[in-house]
Each structure stands twice: as structure tokens, then as C-alpha cells.
Structure 1
Amino acid sequence: QLPLLLLCLWHHDPLVTQVPHCHGGCAEVDSMTEAVARESFLMGCISCKRREEVQAYTTVDWHFRATGEEEYIHSFHYDHPHPNTLHEDFNDRLEWQGTMGSKDVQIGAVFIHNVTFNDTGTYRCTFQRTLYLTLDNEYITVKKEMELTVVAEANRELLSVVSEIMMYVLIVVLQLWMIVVLIHCYNKIWAEHEARDARKALRAQELALINEPLDSKVSCGGVLLE
């Protein structure tokens, strides 16, 4: 998935409930650049409008240039509310995942399904924006490019590997700590048990001396001897 660090909410997102309006600004974050063959990949493209109070109308076009080729092919066009795939190589494989429900498009992301190794190359995302100003309309063109690499299997990121290692280390440390705590508690309970037995034995000896029969004592010169 694309790590879109947006301060504004998407009008539509496959993982987020649809929202009717966008409030606040947005952040232009680059798309991921590594796709896995036979899976789907979200190609991100964001162009934030600098003046939120101005009404605008925006269309988005995607072009593709295969590795080793010089010319781009026009693969996709979005003109609210109609997404259109324009090249046969991408038929039934491109799905609009950008701004929905508004002609003021700021997110031009598309899903490419069933990725193949032939999809490796350069993708160009173009925003054609018309700003409706009081005196006259302003026309702005924004182009962004991304290099897509297709791999057979997903490469695990370093952060994921480190997190997994730390998880196992934490599990081992917690188990060792539990063993130490159990041994400490056992020794403490055993010491208290022995101290209680010693107190019982001492009390029994004291009671035995108190209850010793009087005939066990003899008189010698008027003095009682045990």
C-alpha cells in the first residue's frame, strides 16, 4: 500500500470509509516503486492545490514508457467522474483510486492489477488543473514520474526484519525473567516454611519443659533437683 501521509482525508480509499469532503491540507508523498508480479500495486500521485479557497477542475493522465523504449504510451485518463483505460496492454487492469466525488482532484492514484514483468518502466502522472479565479482562469500543469520495478517476491524491509528480531529477543528475555522470578519466589516461600517449622519446634520444646511431671524432680538437702 502507498504510504500517503495526507493531512486531508481521501474522498475514497479502499481501506477507509468514504467521506464527502476534504478538510485541511495535504502532503505530497512519493509513491512506492517496487511491485510484486501477479499481485496488485497502488501507483500514487498527489498534487496539492495551494489555494484551498479557489474552486478548481482537474483531469489526470497516466503515461507509461517501458524499459528500453523512448516513447510514452497514453495508458489512462480520468475526467470526473469517468475513468478510462486507453491502451490495450492495461485493459481491465487499471482502477482509479484517487479523489472521488469531486472535480477538484488532488490524488491521482491508480491500482494496477495482475502486475507483470512487462510493467517495469517509467510512469508519468499529469495533472491538468483549471483554477476559477475572479478576473481570469488559471491553467496549471503538474507532472510527476516514478520508476517501477517488478520483482518475483516482495523484499522484506530492514525495519520489518529488525522488528521481528526484537520481538523474539523480547520473548526470550521475558521468559528468562519469569524463570528468575519463579526461582526467587520459590526460595522465599521455602525459607518462610523452614522458619515456621523451626518456630513450631522451639514452641514444642518450651511446652514440653513447662508440662514436665513433678515426680521427675528429686530432693537433696531440701533442694529440688531435676
Structure 2
Amino acid sequence: MISHLSLLVILSLFVSQCHGGCSEVESMTEAVAGEGFLLGCISCKRREEVSARATVDWHFRPLGEEEFRHIFHYDHPMADILDGDFTDRLDWLGTQNRDIQTGTIYLHNVTFNDTGMYRCTFHRTLFLSPYNQHVTVEKNVELSVVAVANRELTAVISEILMYVLIVVLQLWLILVLVYCYKKISEEHEEREARKARKAQAELLETKDNCDGVQLE
């Protein structure tokens, strides 16, 4: 779980530069019974400069059932848990203003009964001239609950990438420090050389003046 979250953070750092500060990273889909789980849901606006207002709803369809149950509604700043099976088990971890782009929630104390399909729905109003535009975005997260976390290949790769990135960043930092030190050292030597040349020139000028006085 830690390696997954680390990968999300790393991906968001790189991808956000291409999406105006918002990156649509997919949610993880495997939770461990008895632990917490982050149900991720992100819907980025196509134009960041356009102001907007959004609400987010979460629905849940248990494994083997056909109907979705409305379990959560967020309309800033109010968060409402609408299903008794999730009472005191859901926390809002999304955007903390009306212009919601991250609709992530955290599920505490996961049980095997939480297995199933989760649907996150954004109801967004874009304030455009002359008419407002209403947009609805749906994202599904199919959650499976296991007794023990599986060390999947993707988790291993993400952990390796995380450590590789850390090493690369450290090496880059060392190179920057070495470059800065050399640059500062060269500038210091250049200043000292200029001072020496200036002192030598002043000394020669003084000597010439003294020679001129003696000749007179």
C-alpha cells in the first residue's frame, strides 16, 4: 500500500506539469481486510482558467448485486455518509473548495463485504459566458478485498522506480552542488586575480610617479 501511494505521488509530480496542476491518476483496486483504503477519483478541468463549482457522489454495488447504493455525497463544505454500512468509515480527502477536481475518499476498516464496484460521479458547472455549462463525469473503481496484501509485479516495479528516482535525485543534487562550488570557486579566484592585477597596476603607477619626481 505504501509503495502504491508513493507511486501515485511520483506520477502526480511528473504528470501535473502537463495538465495545469491536475493529473488523472487511476485508483488502486486491491484492499486488505482490517486496514484502510484510498478510493481515488480525479476529474480535471480542461481549462484551468474557467471558474467552476462541483459536487461529488459515491455509489457502491456489492459483489453479486445489480443495483448501486448511494453511500456518500460531498458539496463543499458538507460531507454526508448516506449508507449505514459506511457510517463513521468514510472521510473526504478531496479538494477543499467548491471547484472540486479530486473526489477521493478514504475507507476505514475494510471488510470483505466492501468488495464490489464503486462509482464516483462529478456534477460540475462551468461558469462560462453567456451560458453556464453542466458536465457529468463518472469513474468506476472495482475493489477486491484480500486477507493479505499481494506483492504484485507492478508494486515491485513501482518500488524499484521509487528508489531509482531517489538515487537519481541525490546524484543530481550532488552534481548541482559540485557545479555551484566550482562556479563560486572560479568567481572567487577571478576576483582575487583582478584584485592582484589592480594592485600591481597601482604599484607600477606609484613607482612611475616616484621615478618622475626623482628625475626632476
TM-score w.r.t. length of structure 1: 0.62
Greater helix share, structure number: 2
User: Greater relative contact order (Cα 8 A, min sep 6): structure 1 or 2?
Assistant: 2
- Counterpart of 1:99, as a letter, is T
Correspondence for 1:131 among 126, 131, 138: 126
- Which string of whole-angstrom CA distances, capped at 9 and with x for unpartnered residues, describes residues 148-207 of structure 1? 00000111133666879xxxxxxxxxxxxxxxxxxxxxxxxxxxxxxxxxxxxxxxxxxx
Correspondence for 1:6 among 3, 12, 16: 12
Provide the rounded CA distance (Å) in 1 between the counterparts of 2:93 and 2:31: 17
Counterpart residue number, 1:37: 33
Aligned residues: 151
Please identify the structure whose Cα radius of gyration is greater: 1
Q: Which segments of 5 or more consecutive residues in structure 2 lack a partner in the other structure?
A: 161-216
Cα pair distance change 1:92/1:147, threshold 3 Å? same
Counterpart residue number, 2:83: 87
Provide the rounded CA distance (Å) in 1 between the counterparts of 2:108 and 2:137: 25
Provide the rounded CA distance (Å) in 1 between the counterparts of 2:147 and 2:59: 24
- Counterpart of 2:80, as a letter, is N
Map residues 94-173 of structure 1 onto 2, 5 A cutoff. 94-100=90-96, 102-158=97-153
Q: Which segments of 5 or more consecutive residues in structure 1 lack a partner in the other structure?
A: 11-22, 165-226
Counterpart residue number, 1:62: 58
* Cα contact 1:60–1:127 (8 A) shared by 2: yes
Deviation at 1:29, TM superposition (A): 1.4
SS of the residue corresponding to residue 142 of structure 2 reads strand
Determine whether 1:52 maps to 2:48.
yes
SS of the residue corresponding to residue 6 of structure 1 reads helix
Percent identity between matched residues is 63
Provide the rounded CA distance (Å) in 1 between the counterparts of 2:26 and 2:72: 19
- Counterpart of 1:131, as a letter, is L
- Which string of whole-angstrom CA distances, capped at 9 and with x for unpartnered residues, describes residues 59-87 of structure 1? 00000000110000000000001111000
Deviation at 1:26, TM superposition (A): 1.4
After superposition, the CA RMSD in angstroms is 2.4
Provide the rounded CA distance (Å) in 1 between the counterparts of 2:50 and 2:115: 38
Provide the rounded CA distance (Å) in 2 between the counterparts of 1:111 and 1:35: 11
Counterpart residue number, 1:185: none
Deviation at 1:45, TM superposition (A): 0.3
SS of the residue corresponding to residue 118 of structure 1 reads helix
Deviation at 1:25, TM superposition (A): 3.0
- Counterpart of 1:158, as a letter, is L
